[in-house]
A and B are shown apart, each in its own frame.
Chain A
Amino acid sequence: MFQIYLPIAELSVSVLVLLAMGGGVGFLSGLFGIGGGFLLTPLLIFIGVPPGIAVGTQANQAIASSTAGMLGHRRKRNVDVRLGCVMLLGGALGTLVGSALFGWFTSLGQVDFIIAVLYVVFLGGIGVLMLYESLRATLRRRVNPGQMLAPRQVPRLLQKLPFRRVFPASSLEISLLIPVGIGFVAGITTVLLGLGGSLLVPAMIYVMAMPAAFVAGTSLFQVMFTSIAATFFHATTHHTVDLVLALPLMLGSVLGAQVGTRFAGRLRPDVARLVLAIIVLGVALRLFVVLTVPPEMPFAWEAIQP
């Protein structure tokens, strides 16, 4: 019902399915403060969108959801623009490197495999980290309700890095190399995997020891710009951004995010992180199975672009 033909993906899908997918991802995004790319990209591939177009179109969709989220956080003054700009320096370099890597992996014919491996590594790592941390927080709260999380510190090795600067907004004093490095890695993963915020958020919490209030807003600030760069890259070099596909996804995710944000107030943050950790681990596990279990159909075809 309500079928619409996607001109770039060259297939016909139901608008209702796209709205529901966008809505579901937007709901989780509003609830947990993540972009949701790691869920949307596999979902798009599942309904038959070619992987390249799924990644490109998801980047376009991520601009809308990160802009909406970032503006919301900005109103509450929860965005450290200065730190965000420093991270963007690394992010800009990362998107360039990511674009070059994407082209190289495509020419090798290994882009799907590498994307799957990186997904398993990153999502698995993030998932385990979050699961451990949120379980500890949940248990600790039960034992000692007054106590919040243990005070965080930048890992000792990273404290020795040069170029230390003060970021007054989020009251941090860290080496410039840390945010630049994190931005760089996130820039690469945004272009390659459509995975930006879900990587940035834990990195900012655990590596930079940033106050929790600033994490989501500053991460979305960065995701907005890297998604713009990624959209530009995919649209101009591979023509893999499908606007007709992106529009209903954007509409759904924007509506879903509003609902998600309202529910977010009712959910305890440690429980929210626990649920998110389980979802992230689930996706990572599924991809791991695909990589290691003998495939039913080992062959796959692809048109060679003239």
Chain B
Amino acid sequence: MMLRLLPLLFLLLLLPQRGEAQQEDEIVADVSSRHIAVTAGFNGATTTLFGALPREGEVIIVVTGPLSDVIVRRKERYMGLWLNRSSASFHAVPGFYWVASSKPLADMASSEFLSEKRIGIEHLRFTIAEASNLQESALFQKALVEIKTQEEDYSARPAMVSIMGGRLYRADLSLPSGAPTGEYLITTYLLRSGRLLEVQQTPLVLRKEGAMAAVSAIAVRHSLFYALGAVFLALFSGWLSAALMQRR
């Protein structure tokens, strides 16, 4: 009896210690709001990313938005007109990309490291799914990043991470009003003299809620019902305005 319980007792003794040891090494990362509700009044949002570091160092935070497959098309001159002639499609393109760092990126890490971890828009690499011309696909990828940056879904310059007392950090993430809804991933890196010490990943969800969520859910799931509603609403407002006009 006692012999059987012995390993269990051992485990019980070990568990809290292992837990503490783990916590000491880890970055404790959090977001001021893990769920951001997109309601009728949504016009972009700001949320604070913050946490505690296990030891002193420099911090890089990367936020990537929901992934989707994307096709990039290029207009070319054909018989005097500009039309889409060639294209390339990519897998798992983040709908949002944002970087923040406590120092300029180049001063913190080698370009090999930044490239490997895809930190900074110049280091983004997407998997090619299909391309009219494989040699040119890099051009299409560069253009995609450029357009996404113009649309303010990708941030060209890293934002500020401020470190307080060597152990606490914070950064303000601002999402534009056109930010895609879905699951976001926050990756926090702790570095010291160019070496990676710790990585921590935290989720963040941007979700339509309330009436706006209902409208888009019905539009997709009960599209026939939605179409009927849209038609009747339009017919009714047309009839109403005609009826009001007659009154006068």
- Do these two chains really belong together in a complex? yes
Q: Which residues of A contact B (CB under 8 A)?
A: 3-5, 7-8, 10-12, 48, 60-61, 63-69, 71-72, 75, 109-110, 112-113, 117, 224, 227-228, 231-232, 235-236, 239, 241, 243-244, 246-247, 250-251, 254-255, 257-258, 261, 290-295, 297-304, 306
Residues B239 and A235 in contact, CB atoms below 8 Å apart = no
Residues B230 and A246 in contact, CB atoms below 8 Å apart = yes
Residues A236 and B143 in contact, CB atoms below 8 Å apart = no
Identify which of residues 176-231 in chain B touch chain A, using a CB-to-CB cut-off of 8 Å. Answer: 177-178, 180-181, 208, 212-213, 215-216, 219-220, 223-224, 226-227, 229-231
Residues B180 and A10 in contact, CB atoms below 8 Å apart = yes
Question: Which residues of chain B are within 8 angstroms of A231 by Cβ–Cβ distance?
Answer: 227, 230-231, 234
Residues B83 and A246 in contact, CB atoms below 8 Å apart = no
A258–B74 alpha-carbon span in the complex (Å): 44
Question: Which residues of chain B are within 8 angstroms of A75 by Cβ–Cβ distance?
Answer: 246
A48–B241 alpha-carbon span in the complex (Å): 29
Task: Please judge, given known A-B contacts A71-B242, A302-B70, whether A7 and B213 are in contact too, CB under 8 Å.
Answer: yes
Report the 4 A-B pairs with minimum CB-CB distance, sorted nearest first: A67-B238, A63-B234, A71-B242, A299-B143
A235–B178 alpha-carbon span in the complex (Å): 22
A185–B68 alpha-carbon span in the complex (Å): 37
Residue of A nearest to B78 (CB): A113
Question: Which residues of chain B are within 8 angstroms of A5 by Cβ–Cβ distance?
Answer: 38-43, 177, 212
A-B contact pairs, 17 of them (CB 8 A): A11-B178, A64-B234, A67-B235, A68-B238, A71-B238, A75-B246, A113-B83, A231-B227, A231-B231, A236-B227, A243-B226, A295-B75, A297-B147, A298-B74, A301-B73, A303-B68, A303-B69
Determine which of A63, A68, A247, A292 lies in contact with B80 in the assembled complex, contact meaning CB atoms within 8 Å. A292
Q: Which residues of B contact A (CB under 8 A)?
A: 38-44, 68-77, 80-84, 87, 89, 140, 143-144, 146-148, 177-178, 180-181, 208, 212-213, 215-216, 219-220, 223-224, 226-227, 229-231, 233-235, 237-243, 245-246
Residues A301 and B72 in contact, CB atoms below 8 Å apart = yes
CB proximity of B100 to chain A, nearest CB, Å: 24
A64–B69 alpha-carbon span in the complex (Å): 36
Determine which of A110, A250, A297 lies in contact with B234 in the assembled complex, contact meaning CB atoms within 8 Å. A250
Residues A304 and B177 in contact, CB atoms below 8 Å apart = no
Residues A60 and B234 in contact, CB atoms below 8 Å apart = yes
A261–B223 alpha-carbon span in the complex (Å): 35
A72–B82 alpha-carbon span in the complex (Å): 43
Determine which of B83, B230, B239 lies in contact with A71 in the assembled complex, contact meaning CB atoms within 8 Å. B239
A145–B154 alpha-carbon span in the complex (Å): 64
A302–B39 alpha-carbon span in the complex (Å): 25
Question: Which residues of chain A are within 8 angstroms of B89 by Cβ–Cβ distance?
Answer: 304
Question: Which residues of chain A are within 8 angstroms of B83 by Cβ–Cβ distance?
Answer: 110, 113, 291
A228–B74 alpha-carbon span in the complex (Å): 34
Question: Which residues of chain A are within 8 angstroms of B44 by Cβ–Cβ distance?
Answer: 12
Question: Which residues of chain A are within 8 angstroms of B69 by Cβ–Cβ distance?
Answer: 303-304, 306
Question: Which residues of chain A are within 8 angstroms of B234 by Cβ–Cβ distance?
Answer: 60-61, 63-64, 67, 227, 231, 246, 250
A222–B245 alpha-carbon span in the complex (Å): 22
A292–B216 alpha-carbon span in the complex (Å): 37
